[in-house]
Chain A
């Protein structure tokens, strides 16, 4: 990590500390912000958080490793989580799973080499009346059929294109 990136991360975490406080109850909200922004929580980030909240980094690691939405390892820009629980399972989630693997060229638990997509299983996401269901980051897709997988992925790619453009424009002004 570049020194400037380290500084930027430190500043960000301090700002979240100002927002959520500097006691232990602020730990998870701060980690959630880091995860959202950086798609992972690096060792360096854990160290900064630990220093700021005055707890041992192992405590921070213990929390990160417990929750399935907090990750130490880098994830893709889009995390796709397909529900594998009973109602979705009964509605052919296996076929959707297969198509996701085919279209992304990765298996569950993996991230595409370009860092765009991570494919994971989820447990029941509360859409059981509309299975198979999946989450793309915070967004829900229901009654997914194998032929819809392509559209969902294209939607992500388009969103990313728009996002990249926005970022470029921000730099221009």
Chain B
């Protein structure tokens, strides 16, 4: 149990399987990077094939390359530690146990793109981690791993500041995050322009997930070939999964990309699951008949949230919980999302009351598809996913319900 966990008194340690982060030599990646040219650092990352671990899966090497190519004397590296997707807690574990690796990754990114300032955007719910993180940063400054002429490399200057979120899920979206850092409401911007071009304060900015940055440090330490040798062709390397719900051993696990859902369930003791929600509230519900499918960008992509749904779970209740989440967290800027999430939630309530016609259910599905296309940001584009997949896979279960009527609530 780490110090922070003790201090809060009421928190239990998270179960973790063995994680590679524990076996990488501290600052090896940074030392290797400091001896390389910028192009070679980015080349190493590109060769690893790593894609962003925050969910969207954009190739990290390409992102760094775009920011490196941008002409500007001021650039930023932002670590997205807003971890708000329901069912995700891997970034909390990484920040609690391996924050050095994350800061190392940020510093390498700074060198690669020519940024001197890094910012960690830490969700307000993780405030208790801040003293620990500040202490690690302070230590890194005294070790000359942050500051001017890092590791003796002339002109390699980089420092990291921590900024707190204030309880808004949408601020995990990279442009909303930047708005928030600039002192605005966390409302997503139109993209393009992308942050690599016009980011924080209008300067080129790389926004990367906590885990992406930690792996970047590992890749520079162990080499691209090591990472590329694991996983599948299109989804290379290792990935952390946050596993919760109806299983015997919930926790944070490291698996190679491309692991099947069935294998994963065996590892965590959830073989009897009826379905698995992959990717959190914004992800997809995968029924047992599809457990041979794999967690990979080419099959089912995910930021790593896995919620195991046991045999007795009411799928409509799950859909309802997710939609309540989105009604609450929609920033309200665009109509498909603002109005659509409310309509879908009302639809689920009708279904729970056993009062939804097939015709209306089809209309709701059409609405969901419109939201996927017409919403301004990823929140509205993905909020109908869970509803749509539950309707598709569990239609029989959700239609013609009599449970509420039987319970005398009608």
Contacts and interface: CB of A to CB of B under 8 A. Distances in A.
A87 B8 contact: no
Interface string A76-114: 000000001111011000000000000000000000000
A139 B8 contact: yes
B166 A69 contact: yes
Interface of B: 8-12, 14-15, 83-89, 91-92, 123-128, 163-169, 180-187, 201, 242-246, 250-252, 277, 281, 307, 313, 317-318, 321-322, 324-325, 328-329, 331
Interface in A45-76: 62-63, 66-70
Nearest to B242: A128
B88 A126 contact: yes
A86 B318 contact: yes
Nearest to A127: B89
A31 B163 CA distance: 13
Contact of A129 (B164, B250, B317): B250
Given A128-B242, A139-B9, A70 B166 contact: yes
A42 interface: no
Contact of A28 (B9, B87, B183, B329): B183
Contacts of B128: 138-140
Given A87-B86, A124-B325, 4 more contacts: A126-B123, A130-B14, A138-B128, A142-B11
A25 B163 CA distance: 10
Contacts of A66: 168, 185-187, 331
Contact of B11 (A29, A123, A127): A127
Nearest to B170: A66
A87 B245 contact: yes
B185 A62 contact: yes
27 contacts: A24-B182, A25-B181, A25-B182, A25-B183, A31-B166, A32-B124, A66-B186, A68-B166, A69-B166, A84-B321, A86-B322, A87-B86, A89-B321, A123-B84, A123-B169, A123-B328, A124-B88, A126-B91, A126-B92, A128-B89, A129-B244, A129-B251, A129-B252, A139-B8, A141-B8, A142-B12, A155-B9
A124 B83 CA distance: 9
A122 interface: yes
A152 to B, nearest CB: 7
A85 B246 CA distance: 15
Nearest to B123: A126
A25 B161 CA distance: 13
B166 A128 contact: no
Contacts of A153: none
Given A28-B180, A86-B307, A90-B246, A152 B167 contact: no
Contacts of A141: 8-11
A108 B160 CA distance: 38
A86 B281 contact: yes
Nearest to A133: B11
B349 to A, nearest CB: 16
Given A86-B322, A89-B321, A123-B328, A63 B183 contact: yes
A127 B180 CA distance: 24
A140 B2 CA distance: 14
A28 B124 CA distance: 12
Nearest to A36: B127
Interface string A121-153: 011111111110001001111111000000010
Contacts of A9: none
Given A68-B167, A129-B242, A87 B307 contact: yes
A87 B244 contact: yes
A27 interface: yes
A84 B180 CA distance: 25
Contact of A135 (B125, B166, B181, B252): B125
A63 B184 contact: yes
A85 B86 contact: yes
